[in-house]
Amino acid sequence: MSLGLIASDIPLAERYDLALVDLDGVAYRGHEPIPNAATGLGGARAAGMRLVFVTNNASREPQSVASQLTELDIPTSSDEVMTAAQAAAALLRTRLEPGARVLVVGGAGLFTAVHDAGFVIVESADEEPVAVAQGFAPELGWAQLAEAAYAIQRGAWHVASNLDLSLPTARGFAPGNGSLVRAVQAATGVEPSSAGKPSPTMYHLAVERAGASSPLVVGDRLDTDLAGARSGGYPGLHVLTGVNGGRDAVLAEPGLRPHYIGADLLSLLVPHEAPVQAAEGWWTCGESAARATEGVLELTGPQGVDLIRAACGAAWATVDAGGSVDADSVPDLAVGNA
């Protein structure tokens, strides 16, 4: 699949039969709705696109996630939610037999997923668990992290639901599961296995569950959502409502690049232009254009998604040809509608 942006002459909701949609920063922010999310997802459903919400959050039960979405005017059932807790349990099953003892450090969603996978949940390293399953929960403290460290030092397999360093909330970015995992890793010196994005495990599970033939990943984070799309071989839509903005996309390494860029979830309902190479090194998209000259990015045209697309075309082509783009020459790039 192309390492650059690609075009779609029809709305994405008509081209793809399933959207694998991230939650925080895409469908909502903390407990607050994101503008146009309900309209975009509702329109995608009306066009025949199915939805599965795929989240690195392992603390909550799928039904709890579905209820929150429904309250935000995004009607959702629990079987349309795939959590990192479910992916962690699936990863445990690749090496452990049912009945194996697992120390769970996390929230209710992780406890339920590990239990439903057939494992015996223990609370102490002294109960000789063969694995530690670690996921985020706001109530986690030193005692639980220490218990995990003791078990891992004794040989237990460390499985993390995800390695996100930060967690978007309504008040800003808070420490995520990856930050807590690093604390345990620092104490043990053992690198954990991870089930969450950017591993494509959850995407594969969701596609299999839905029986989809043409899935599209939708996310706001390049290092998790879109990296997982690339590693899993899925096209990815980067929406600019969360962690990573347009400037980040322009500077993205090849393995983190999206295939489409949109302002928000309304971008599921429209065709997408891709930048094209023009004369004198310019890349154009709509009324916008960009080129990289001696490592300096030049831009012309109105602010918006097309300018970001053109900038990605110019910057990525330069890097892929062995050149470089000075990050200081890439401005913050504002967006309007997709």
Catalytic residue list = 22, 24
Contact call for residues 221 and 252 (beta carbons, < 8 A): no
Residues contacting residue 245 through CB under 8 Å, at least 6 positions apart: 332, 333, 335
Query: If you compute the radius of gyration of the chain from its CA atoms, what whole number of angstroms results?
Result: 21
Type of residue found at 281? G
CA angle 141, 100, 91 (to 5 degrees): 75
DSSP string, 53-65: EEES--SS-HHHH
Give the integer Cα–Cα distance in Å for 14 and 214.
Answer: 10
Of 144, 193, 106, the C-alpha closest to 114 is 106
Cis preceding-peptide flag for 138 (omega within 30 of 0)? no
Longest dimension (CA), the chain: 69
Cα 300 from Cα 280, distance rounded (Å): 14
- By the 10 Å C-beta count (0-12 exposed, 13-18 middle, 19+ buried), 238 is classed as buried
CB atoms within 10 A of CB 208: 9
Alpha-carbon distances of 141 from 107, 164, 194, rounded to whole Å = 12, 18, 21
